[in-house]
Amino acid sequence: MPLRVVRLSVPLPDIEQRLAADVTTERKEELREAARQIAAGEGVGVEDVVLANDRPVGIVAQQVMTWLGWA
């Protein structure tokens, strides 16, 4: 089965803003982990395409589906 990988790219300040609405110890840990992964470049290079995830979910999903040839 062929596998196609889409990496959704989000700047760290946007991740911080998204997680700020639910400030818990777990969210703070997730933010630290996200910062570590971004700094380390984890996962970079395994994708077939990189899409900015800075728009509403429906728009990003449509872009993914179009890229896959499903729409």
- Per-residue pLDDT of the chain (71 residues), as tens digits, is 889 999 999 888 988 888 877 778 888 888 899 899 999 999 899 999 999 999 999 999 999 999 999 98
Q: What local confidence, expressed as pLDDT, does residue 6 receive?
A: 96
Provide φ and ψ at 21, rounded to 5°.
-70, -20
- pTM equals 0.74
Q: What local confidence, expressed as pLDDT, does residue 3 receive?
A: 94
Residues in a beta bridge with 8:
51
Provide φ and ψ at 11, rounded to 5°.
-65, 145
Q: What local confidence, expressed as pLDDT, does residue 52 receive?
A: 95
